[in-house]
A and B are shown apart, each in its own frame.
Chain A
Amino acid sequence: MRFHRTTTLILLGCIALFGCKKKEEAPPPETVAPAPVESPTPTPTPATVPFKVTSIDLGKAIGPDKKVTDPTTTFGPKDTIYAVVSSEGSGPDVKLTAKWTFGDKGQPVGSEDKTVTPNGSASATEFHASKKSGWPVGHYKVEILADGTSAGTKEFEVKK
């Protein structure tokens, strides 16, 4: 009889113990199959186009949009010469430089810098040069540099 009571007590103790322990156990891993993951629709991100010079145009006049309205590569001594740098893209500030030279030996005429902040839109930056006493007749070049790297050269001529 005593044996039976002892066994019963041990059994009850075990049940109590396991009953308590079970609450402490980590929950069983979920067996529910995960819902099928829909492949995310790719969100179109605006393509970041790095800054680049797309063209260099010469002319005698520009419009409000800074574009050449009178394109030419032949100028008179009293003309103002416009070199318009068209560009696109975005990125950090860019220093555009126009280096004007004269003749085959590249005699420096002058150099002008313009630092711009590319904003992604198509844009135009104009450089102009004039000479009060009149341009000497001959062949000239204007080289455009972007952050010191040549982006193109245009030749032009001054005739009487």
Chain B
Amino acid sequence: MANEEKPDFSDVELGSSSTLPTPEPEEQTYTIVSGDSLSKIAKHFYGDAGRWREIFEANRDVIKDPDLIYPGHTIKIPSA
């Protein structure tokens, strides 16, 4: 019985790079600095301070209280 065995390519490693710029990642990060607030960050990224909650929701794992954010922490900024 002719059993045509297919080669296993599960350990193939692929990669790529380009001289062209690559688009901005959909989700940015931001490192909090002294004097920041979620409203201020929302205003900076979205132009709307009222969207602070979106940032808060995306960072529930690191921000427990939206009024307490700490300089040096890096948070995720969801795409606008």
Contacts and interface: CB of A to CB of B under 8 A. Distances in A.
Given A115-B23, A117-B21, A130 B16 contact: no
B24 to A, nearest CB: 9
A119 interface: yes
Give the interface centre of A102, A131, A132 by most chain B CB atoms within 10 Å.
A131
B9 A109 contact: yes
Contacts of A31: none
Given A130-B12, A133-B11, A107 B6 contact: yes
Interface of A: 65-66, 87, 93, 96, 98, 100, 102, 107-119, 123-133, 136, 138
Given A112-B16, A114-B17, A129-B13, 14 more contacts: A66-B17, A96-B18, A107-B7, A110-B9, A114-B16, A115-B22, A116-B18, A126-B16, A127-B15, A127-B16, A128-B16, A130-B13, A132-B11, A138-B7
